[in-house]
Amino acid sequence: QVQVQESGPGLVKPSETLSLTCAVSGYSISSGYNWGWIRQSPGKGLEWIGSIHHSGSTSYNPSLKSRVTMSVDTAKNQFSLKLNSVTAADTAVYYCARPYKSAWYGVFDIWGQGTVVTVSS
Amino acid sequence: QSVLTQPPSVSGAPGQRVTISCTGGSSNIGVGNNVHWYQQLPGAAPKLLIYTDNNRPSGVPDRFSGSKSGTSASLAITGLQAEDEADYYCQSYDSSSLSVVFGGGTKLTVL
């Protein structure tokens, strides 16, 4: 079955760049879908960061757009997130996910287990 | 402050019916954008519960149902069970900000 798995540093210093990768198994990323990143701050709700199509086209949350870059690597069957100029407010569990239907944004039905990223010096 | 507003908490006894509301505005639910619901058990990733207002993915019990009217949507859970105790989130799309938006979440306590 299709699985996604986040990986990356668990600790990032303030003002630096947070970099995460989502490895996809059981499905070829170049076959479609708008793959997404979502985060959840401690004790808070869910926040959509953005989505990337296998072609490389992106859609970002306007509140984060100036700091976010997403990319896809079809050869490695993975996609990535970079968030620059991080502050303590970016401390969260970061999830990667796939939507329920290929043409949809959001409506995620396949989620990774999440990775905790703490921003601290 | 979330674009979609949910009550922070709801509760009910086993076997009862509870509803969770999700209130949006004229640029999201009110303009006809679909509403989706997730269940998040403690320490776990969210699970898609309802999509496009009132559809259940395979494997989701029919105790869970969704509805939408005007600028609001609701999730109903009947025959409440202890394992339903979780956080529930609504989600839609905001046509003004061109963004996927979530509600702030509702914690369901089974008494």
- Identify all chain A residues contacting B36, using CB atoms and an 8 Å cutoff: 106-107
- In degrees and rounded to multiples of 5, residue A12 shows phi and psi of -130, 140
* pLDDT given at position A101: 87
Distance from CA of B9 to the nearest CA of A (A): 13
* pLDDT given at position A42: 86
* CA A103 to mean position of chain CA atoms: 18
Per-residue pLDDT tens over the stretch B2-24: 899 999 999 999 999 999 999 99
What are the structure tokens assigned to A47, written together? 């926040």
Q: Which residues contact B87 (CB under 8 A, 6 or more apart)?
A: B39, B40, B105, B106, B107, B108
Q: Which residues contact A49 (CB under 8 A, 6 or more apart)?
A: A36, A37, A38, A39, A60, A61, A64, A68, A81, A83, A94
Per-residue pLDDT tens over the stretch A81-99: 999 999 999 999 999 999 9
Residues 3-32 of B with CB under 8 A from A: none
- Cα(B42)–Cα(A93) distance, rounded to whole angstroms? 13
- Cα(A105)–Cα(B95) distance, rounded to whole angstroms? 12
Pairing mode of beta strands B47-50, A92-99: unpaired
Q: Is the per-residue pLDDT at A104 higher than 90?
A: no
Q: Is B41 on the interface with A (CB under 8 A)?
A: no
Distance from CA of B92 to the nearest CA of A (A): 8
Q: Is the per-residue pLDDT at A43 higher than 90?
A: no
Are A61 and A47 spatial neighbours (Cβ–Cβ below 8 Å)?
Answer: yes
Alpha-carbon dihedral angle through residues A54, B27, B53, B59, given to the nearest 10 degrees: 40
Q: Is the per-residue pLDDT at A69 higher than 90?
A: yes
